[in-house]
Chain A
């Protein structure tokens, strides 16, 4: 069976890299003695697949992973036993069984939402004005450096929805951005582009992932959402 879980990565573990986070979950799964499926070969590995790697230093309440088990287990028991073995800061928030043949999570993620806390050196009104002006642009070009190559990219289409809470030193943004294989906008890239555009002194204090989304019938939904075909789709079929 396959269990999909939503995992929190809190303050206590924010400085652990994604690879070490994955290793920590693997060890916890072993300690919990869950009936996990193993890959074959000389070095058998647990079958755990993550939706997306979280950058070092970020916290999150929405990491997702699929766990493949060789025997059936109650989902509630899976959650309880795993949580008993997880260090402070890591917690399984929610889980449910998904179809054994459900495609890899990583390939399905299309968007991510973040809460970014930053401090800016301008009055709140100026900040609001600049932010609106920034978003009103048709194109927002940033330079991405990938493997010794620099690329100019228009990130405007990747900014899906935003909300600014202007509070001077403790301003924050809710950002919904494209994420995954069809385009990936990192929240710090977006904010840096804004600071540069507005010519203001800004500093990002903290980034917290609030959601990861897959697409179903034109809607962004949580990877844990139960599939229910919307009426309009059913009618058209």
Chain B
């Protein structure tokens, strides 16, 4: 970067970034789309496959059980990718992401059940309110950096804990306490309700993951993504160059939270209910584990981590190993921090190069 040599070079550096794209540049811009498109096509066709995979799945690929598992994996892939917008791309270690996921799930559920809205208006209302809340809470959390970035981590954790306690207290019978709430099916379109329609829910989850990937990949490739990367690597330098780290970090926080709210809506639909577990700080920790396991700050890492972790978390219980799945996953994670510092995707890359 020429801009790093002297601060005065900043205005001059900006136009250099987007010259008329030459042929190689254009190619580079198109080629990254082929792999995602192929993956997307493959995933979209899964419900048409009756393939039987003995140990890995309980039933054929297109059985409702398998499709629901896949849908959950995809939702977590999206959630992890959204979380990585803060963690891997901007260097913000938030422990309060669960607040927005639970907010999306419970908000949509309550808007449907209490206000009598349909799924889409309820989700939009929740998204708007959740984003506003993210702006306010994000501004408060980001002001705490007197303790370093860890202050941010602890304050977001405290906010999420408050939300979690609120959910578990079951105020006025609203949240259902520890039982959670079953999906309010009256508000949901018929095509998304019931076992026979699991494929539709699956496609919706795929659409969510696609949306998150499109947003995250696009935004991080833009100038603001560079600024986020700069903040992650050296915040002081970004400040000296005349950018406001606070505003940029708040932007990343808000965008990631909005994606999390949407993910909460999907989680509600896929699991057919709002569970208090989505609000706990532990839930955020699992997202962090997914991101690091797959490879933070990379295109595919968070998605791979989210899908793999969710699959193992769901399946390990069924294999009757006699231990809690989280014991295995936590140990795997600790081992991965040492053995695969850049995540699993980086492991593959290192071997191939």
A binds B: no
B contacts, CB < 8 Å to A: none
